[in-house]
Amino acid sequence: MDLWTLFLWLPLSLALEVNLMNTKLETSDLKWTSYPKVDGQWDEMSGLDDEGTPVRTYEICNAHLSNQNNWLRTNYIQRGLASNAYVEITFTMLECSFLSRAGRSCKETFNLYYYQANHDLANDHFPPWMENPWVRVDTVAADFLGRPNRRVSSGSTRINVKTLRIGPLTGDGFYLAFQDQGACMALLAVRVFYRVCPAVVASLASFPKTVSEGLVVSAEGSCVEGAEGPQGRRPTMYCREDGEWAKPAVGECACVAGREEKDGRTKCAAYSRAVQHVGQRMMGAVVQ
């Protein structure tokens, strides 16, 4: 089957998202690690998210200084069942042209990196604060730039939300790192998650909850009660990278004799007595 045809299939069910980290749910200090250990570094503060809920934020604003190389590393994140993960970053950023002290080195972007490890091994000096061994995911630019206010995370600044994919993940866990090179910005929230196709019944077959991997991953199901499939073949569906099932199923099941499809092909119900009675009368007429 041509995998590209999967993009033409209609989604069968909404994806599930399993959180590996969500700073919006933290009520105490995050205590992430910053580099270098000097004044003017990433500063952890209390702020408000886009819904006005108190959250822990990180802010930095050294746009007036040149040669900035400021890193912020998360705590160790267990990857769970994820082979790929997504990083949802909620942030605000100020426009360089409205910063009175901003120099030519002022930036309106930041870099996202990740580093895989089988256990929590990081300290103030390891992994080294540089690209390679860190893997750069992307340079993140703001869609909305704000103007100076009392605080970068104030409610008057428009909020950006970016979702980036990291992987393939092979270690037991990983770290994220944010590199600032001269922006005036605030990280309002960081959520790390992976997507799962939920358990579903379709085409007279039930399919288990399946973790999405790569472009698609196949999942074997079983025929519902009262249904049978082709001899030696189990029904198969494809879990897409976005955590949604693609249809139709391969090797579909069919109701056995005496049963009919019901509820959008999710069950095989016995024929009603009226239908059975008509069938018996017709059979009797044929015999006569």
List, run by run, the mean pLDDT of 10-residue segments along the chain (288 residues): 40 80 93 90 84 88 91 98 96 90 87 98 97 97 84 65 96 98 95 96 93 89 92 88 86 91 92 56 47
**Nearest residue to 71 via CA among 109, 111, 39:** 111
| pLDDT at residue number 103 | 73
Instruction: Compute the distance between CA of residue 258 and CA of residue 228 in angstroms, rounded to an integer.
Output: 13
pLDDT at 149: 64
Phi, psi angles (nearest 5°) of residue 98: -100, 5
pLDDT value of residue 70: 97
- Lookup: tokens for 10: 């209609």
Query: Structural domains in the chain?
Result: 31-194 (2.60.120.260), 198-287 (2.60.40.1770)
Distance CA 69, CA 110 (A): 10
Q: What is the pLDDT of residue 79?
A: 96
pLDDT at 214: 78
Residue of 249, 276, 277 lying closest to 260 (CA atoms): 276
Helix (H, G, I), strand (E, B) or coil at 6: helix
Question: What pLDDT score was predicted for residue 8?
Answer: 38
Distance (Å, rounded) from C-alpha 109 to C-alpha 113? 14
Rounded alpha-carbon distances, angstroms, from residue 225 to 69, 248, 254? 62, 20, 10
Given CA atoms 76, 79, 80, 85 in this order, what sign does their dihedral have?
positive
Measure CA of the first residue to CA of the last residue in the chain; give whole Å.
50
Instruction: Scan for tokens 């970068």, then name that residue.
Output: 152
pLDDT for the residue numbered 5:
39
The neighbouring-strand residues paired with 159 are none
